[in-house]
Amino acid sequence: MAAMRGAVLTLLLAAVTTVACTDGAGTGAEPDAIGATDGVAVSEPVPRRPVAGGTVRVRAPAEPASLNPLAALEDDAAALVTHPVLAPLWRTGPDGAAQLWLLAAEPEATVDEDGTPTVVYEVRDDAVWSDGEPIDGRDVLFTLQTCQALAPGERGGRQCGAVDTAASHADGRRATVVFTRPVGTWRALLTDLPVLPEHLLRGRDVRDVWLRTLPVSSGPFRFASWTPGERIVLVPNDTWWGERPPLDRIEVVFDGVDGISDLLDGMIDVATVDASVANLERARATPRLRIAVGTGTTVEALDFNVASPRVGRAAVRRAVVAALDTQVLVDEVVGPIVPAARPRRQLLVGDADAPPAATEPPDAGPGDLGRVGCRKDADGIAVCDGAPMRLRLAVADDAWRHGLVAEYVTSQLAGIGVAVVAADDEASWDLRVDTIDAADPLTMGRRWRCDSVANEQAYCNPALDDLLDRASRLAPGEERDALLAEAELMLARDRPTFPLYPVPHMLAYRSVVRGPAINSGLSGVTWNAEKWARTAGAPD
């Protein structure tokens, strides 16, 4: 999952179905347990008042290899620590929208006739580092320079390479950033990327610092200690610009399991858990747990290896996917967990906003392979271009959902004479079940670009690359949407990838805690840790 993370700039799908009726660290009655994924509480409400002080233990998927802020871009465990400690200009909320964080206001911009912007980012005037130094425009420029020094594949789609660092300058809290070419994503160029302290890191190799500690903080918490093999401890940052967090301490505990037993035992208070029916039903059975379920920006999809002679023709790929009933997949795989979930229809544009041409491409082709020049042999196997349609199916990881998808794909394609077998290795496959991050269409588009190292499907369409390039120069709006819709239509006709359904996510936490909210984006579960609190009137 970490390798697929990128800038969360434009939400394509955020059907977050929050099951737990929580509203942060406010006051009022809350249900003792949650019993249904449609938001209906089945138990009687009891008082849930937040109290000051106490500790909350958060489960990390593993012990982080480093606390380096750049490592946290690819390490989910490190991100649990760095997000509450090092603040970005924007952070991503659970709805996928970028929220102002260190910024005082939305950036000001002037745009040249060719569309090249010059942008002024202004840091809030009460923001300081925990060592007393102000957070200012120099820090913003230094962060951009650091981002620019990363390899293109390490930037998460951020177009830091378009910044003219020599022409850009800082003036107190303001950073005036000059771009060298049109860049449509300048508003969220640094979303979720921590602003770095120029006064501490200038002249140092940023990749090799802060491996076991974070000596300075700009967020609601600061680093306190790391006990190898056990936990990392965070405590409130007294210099933070917001209200002091209710908690005295957050412990990030290293535990790679994804069940809920350690929450039931009281060893862990908050955890992202495997979104399975078993975990959902077990959580429903106890008043000590609260649970939230929803879908976020990740999508399950079926990839084609375009280099394979079996699926090299677009017409064959269209006929194959036309035989798949994605509604059945949703009903069987996602429906028991998120009843409101629907099949995913588009890749680059939101389903609700997609033009009819992208929804129903005129030459999509029927599920009958005979219509595209294939015939069946004596065993009932379709033969296309002289090759039997025995397709090798790979899965990107061992997620339980992928096994179910493989079963349904195998069964449904058998109806048109396609025999699906397991791929022998990761390099030899015709079809692949994969999970992709659909938060930003331009970042996701790299997986199909002709010159991209992220392209593992041998698909190449220069016209698609051109549309993505043109869209990258535009700010979100009707003109950009029209280019993405045209690119969507190309993908629908070529079908290198077929979207299936949004991936479910599940957050569980004990009833003695108030405030956690599901957030499947880059910010992770600690995105709003400053609002977490222990509660009174709840059994421990």
Please spell the DSSP secondary structure of 73-103, one letter per residue: GT-HHHHHHHHHHS-BSEEE-TTS-EEESSB
pLDDT at 30: 39
Residues near 106 by Cβ (< 8 Å), separated by ≥ 6? 100, 187
pLDDT in tens, 493-536: 999 999 999 988 889 999 899 999 888 666 678 999 999 999 87
Which of 133, 138, 198 is closest to 173 using CA atoms? 138
CB 231 within 8 A of CB 254: yes
pLDDT at 353 over 60: no
pLDDT at 83 over 60: yes
Which of 59, 507, 33, 53 is closest to 268 using CA atoms? 59
Separation CA 94–CA 520 (nearest Å) = 7
128-137, 220-229, 410-419: which has the minimum mean pLDDT? 410-419
pLDDT at 520: 66
Q: How confident is the model at residue 47 (pLDDT cuts 50, 70, 90)?
A: very low
List C-alpha distances in Å: 331 to 119, 206, 302, 342, 405. 46, 47, 17, 9, 12
Percent of the chain with pLDDT over 70: 85
pLDDT at 45: 40
Radius of gyration of the chain (CA): 24
3-state secondary structure at position 476: coil
Q: What are phi and psi of 182, to 5 degrees?
A: -60, 130
State the amino acid at position 217 in one-letter form: S
pLDDT at 258: 66
pLDDT at 157: 63
Q: Does 29 or 85 have the greater pLDDT score?
A: 85
Mean pLDDT across 303-321 = 93
pLDDT in tens, 221-253: 999 999 999 999 999 999 999 999 999 999 999
70-84, 348-362, 372-386, 465-479: which has the minimum mean pLDDT? 348-362
pLDDT at 131: 96
Q: How confident is the model at residue 207 (pLDDT cuts 50, 70, 90)?
A: confident
pLDDT in tens, 18-38: 333 333 333 333 333 333 333
pLDDT at 429: 94
Separation CA 286–CA 263 (nearest Å) = 11
pLDDT at 362: 45
pLDDT in tens, 449-477: 998 888 999 999 999 999 998 988 887 77
DSSP 8-class letter at 128: B
**Mean pLDDT across the chain:** 82
pLDDT at 538 over 50: no
Sign, CA dihedral 17-436-303-346, equals positive
Residues near 312 by Cβ (< 8 Å), separated by ≥ 6? 306, 385
pLDDT in tens, 289-309: 888 888 877 899 999 999 999
Q: Does 446 or 355 have the greater pLDDT score?
A: 446
Q: Which domains does the chain have, with CATH numbers?
A: 63-211 (3.90.76.10), 295-503 (3.10.105.10)
Which of 318, 296, 275, 329 is closest to 436 using CA atoms? 296
**Other residues' Cβ atoms within 10 Å of the Cβ of residue 426:** 11
pLDDT at 339: 87
Separation CA 425–CA 320 (nearest Å) = 22
88-92, 343-347, 357-361, 425-429: which has the minimum mean pLDDT? 357-361
